[in-house]
A = this chain, B = another copy of it.
Amino acid sequence: MRVCRHCGSRAGEVRVGYARMWLCRDCFTRFFERKVRRTLEKYRMLKGVSRLAVAVSGGKDSAALLAALARLELGIELAPIHLNLGIPGYSSECERKARELAEHLGLRLQVFKLEEEGFTVGMLGETRLRRRACAACSTVRRYWLNRLARELDAQAVATGHNLDDTVEVLFNAYFTGDLETIARLKPALPARGKLVARIKPLIALTEEEALEYAEILELPFTSVKCPLGKGSRSLRRKKLIETIAEEVPGYKHTFLSAHLRVFQPMAEEHAELGELGECRLCGEPSSQEVCGYCRVKSAVRAYLAS
């Protein structure tokens, strides 16, 4: 048994790989929560927020997020939201875990079922959007999170995006020169018209840390992976980034900090962010005449009707 770097007890069970540090379970829990608090403060994520919508997927990251926010006793109201996307063999298990998590933390969960809209993400696999199912699903999630958060009068939505998610996006954005993504990828995006502010309190914590935290606290979460994402580019990229991080110590943390310190502000100055209007069909915020969500929805419905 290793010695805990923080308290010196002989219970150093948890390894924080990039910091070459062992911690006991209690100290790791405090370490994790302190990092969340520091991220909230550093990027002024809760400025003007009295009710915070929290996206809860049923997975480890959002479980860790919701639990850390609850345990930090921030003096704000937490409004967890779960989207049931209707993916066979996956969504019902996700909803079950999200409900268990909210109950465990004594919070009331708002559940939205996409099938009420007359389609599901599961159906995407059968349409021409099949190859871009992950992108379309992400459009659907962003849309409903924003809409539900606004309807709940929340001043911001928190998502469980961790450091690994972020570096995966950065990796692609940098080698392809995607300045718009670079300009927009920030820990906190302020509100803009009908777009509720978005915050990522886990952005400086790795996937491994979120998993460790969720396991130590015995939070309910599912380890089932989305069947539509199997073999996806996103998963292969994450593996690749793991390989890079093994060869380049500190790769993920250094990349994020270089991004936020050097490139993001520069890109934001240069990139022209499109005007934000409202979708002709649903009235939700959109940079185009018809928003991405309405386009996905009509593509699936057109397929079903044919």
Which A residues lie at the B interface, using CB under 8 A?
A: 174-177, 179, 236-237, 240, 243-244, 247-248, 251, 254-255, 257-259, 261-263, 266-267, 270
Contacts and interface: CB of A to CB of B under 8 A. Distances in A.
A180 to B, nearest CB: 11
Contacts of A240: 243-244, 247-248
A267 B266 CA distance: 8
Given A177-B258, A177-B263, A240-B243, 10 more contacts: A174-B255, A174-B258, A175-B248, A175-B251, A175-B255, A237-B247, A243-B243, A244-B244, A263-B263, A266-B267
Contacts of A258: 174-177
A79 B237 CA distance: 46
Contacts of A176: 254, 258
A13 to B, nearest CB: 31
| Chain B CB within 10 A, most for which of A176, A243, A251 | A176
A132 B188 CA distance: 40
A143 B97 CA distance: 64
Stoichiometry, copies per complex = 2
11 contacts: A174-B255, A174-B258, A175-B258, A177-B257, A177-B258, A177-B263, A236-B247, A240-B243, A243-B243, A266-B267, A266-B270
A221 B267 CA distance: 44
A18 to B, nearest CB: 14
Contacts of A254: 175-176
Nearest to A174: B174
Contact of A259 (B177, B247, B255, B270): B177
A251 B251 CA distance: 18
B262 A179 contact: yes
A163 to B, nearest CB: 13
Nearest to A246: B240
Contacts of A247: 236-237, 240
A295 B243 CA distance: 37
Contacts of A267: 266
Contacts of A175: 248, 251, 254-255, 258
Nearest to A256: B175
Contacts of A236: 247
A237 B244 CA distance: 9
A262 B175 CA distance: 10
A243 B242 CA distance: 12
A255 to B, nearest CB: 4
